[in-house]
Chains A and B, each alone.
Chain A
């Protein structure tokens, strides 16, 4: 049971990463690799501030803004200096590796004896349960600590999802969506599309960094290598989410990205339980995204062929 709760919690935390990837890849069709660096950036900024005694919500918010800054750099490289979008992301991601090391001062910052959002939600949970350390849920013994962290994370993700949905329906948010959809039209309607891209990629990376900040607090450390392959992870979640909801309505795609992230984490946990070596995880994830990308093409071809036959 505690494994299931842990899986769900990490799935929720990484769903913020999935939402970030959703914004860059799906809304802007901007293949943004910066996320690999900005998730670590969020973790290292939050962890460093937490160790200095900054309050956890503030430290997490700082992580978010650091991510936005990184995203704005990528967007500016692309729009202002006309560097290919993929390369812009790679440049910033590479630079972030050194920056993250500088922020942390070493390759790993442990958060074991520090107040974090996780310990704060645990103590709130314990207060609500009047000191009981576990409760019974449908015959399962559930630790109050695990459950309260999970509830807090789920709440935070739900709040972020709703805020993102509302934002994307404001005048600014609609202009951003239209920029990714039809640049010619949005320019003809008087919108500076370059600014929209910079801002959009910034928000995307802000969410990714927030995800990193929460992840560091949950797992109790920030590590300079924690971001490797995270873009692909997020993409896998988005793809699963799209398959789950099967529509491109805005609200449903956001819910889909969150659900996809949780489900993907669950699949990975099951695979690991069945004896998949953790070393193979990235390979399997990449292979999964590869399949998810080519299967629709393959099906379309097959359908065309059978229609002609």
Chain B
């Protein structure tokens, strides 16, 4: 479904602030798989998601989705195939537009936008259905501006919007990290529902070891712009949060070793 082939990205190349965020990442997603990405800060997990979404052009490599090479597509063109939910609950909705208007915009993701009426009765009826399924009482507030809602409500609506038209790929970028625990649980439950219902292919970044262990059917761990672990099938099912923490500890030790080794070399040879 999704093929990421040796993708590299360096920010601020040639300056003292140079960051090699992605170093030849290879990843292939089967149709209908739900892949969790974890990693330390700056490991490149969000960068990988943004590279797939087209937020910036990659330096090297290829990105294919649904048998189409979209390496050179601009972000808005890729959006025809991709649904996204961001970490910031305010990023996925337009605050001064009403709930209805936001949903209407989402109902034409990747379609042309002409002078057709944005709020057709049939569309509004379906909105009522979909929104009442969230159990947030929002179906009676469809004409309120989205800016008046809480972060959790906005994130739930963003999820509805991202999957209104079935996306070939759903990108979830730590989409519960900025929510309170109760809203986070709710949004995760909704995520599981919609992924199961529409059999979506999904790529999800998370900081929560609990989510990483319990969700999805495959888990990859990133470090310094590369994939260092890839758990699939039974190996993924056996993973517990403690196992993941142990892997992080390993990485940390390896880092320290690197540093002390470098120091030793420096002392001996410089």
Residues of A within 8 A of B (CB): 167, 169-175, 177-178, 181-182, 184-193, 248
Contact = CB atoms under 8 A, between A and B. Distances in A.
B104 A174 contact: yes
Contact of A169 (B80, B117, B145): B117
B240 interface: no
Given A187-B79, A188-B84, A190-B110, A170 B116 contact: yes
Contacts of A169: 101, 117-119
B196 to A, nearest CB: 23
Contacts of A172: 113-115
Nearest to A175: B113
A176 to B, nearest CB: 9
A170 B105 CA distance: 10
Given A187-B76, A189-B108, A189-B109, 7 more contacts: A170-B114, A171-B118, A178-B101, A182-B90, A185-B92, A188-B75, A188-B86
Nearest to A177: B97
A173 B96 CA distance: 14
B106 interface: yes
A198 to B, nearest CB: 14
Contacts of B119: 169
A187 B108 CA distance: 12
Contacts of B53: 188
Which residue, of A169, A178, A188, A193, has the highest number of chain B Cβ atoms within 10 A?
A188
A174 B76 contact: no
Nearest to A188: B84
Contact of A181 (B95, B110, B116): B95
B94 interface: yes
B111 interface: yes
A13 to B, nearest CB: 27
Contacts of A185: 91-94
A17 to B, nearest CB: 23
A181 B114 contact: no
**Most chain A CB neighbours (cut-off 10 Å) among B74, B108, B162:** B108
Contact of A182 (B95, B111, B115): B95
A187 B90 CA distance: 14
Main secondary structure on chain A at its contact with chain B? helix
B183 interface: no
Interface string B46-62: 00000001000000000
Nearest to A174: B118
Contacts of B106: 189
B5 interface: no
Contacts of A188: 53, 75, 79, 82, 84, 86, 92, 162
Contact of B76 (A167, A171, A178, A191): A191
A42 B161 CA distance: 41
Given A171-B104, A174-B104, A174-B118, A191 B93 contact: no
A45 B74 CA distance: 38
B95 A170 contact: no
Contacts of A192: 74, 76
B84 A170 contact: no
24 contacts: A170-B114, A170-B118, A171-B105, A171-B108, A171-B114, A172-B113, A172-B115, A177-B94, A177-B97, A178-B101, A181-B94, A181-B97, A182-B94, A184-B91, A185-B94, A187-B79, A188-B86, A189-B108, A189-B109, A189-B161, A190-B79, A190-B80, A190-B108, A248-B96
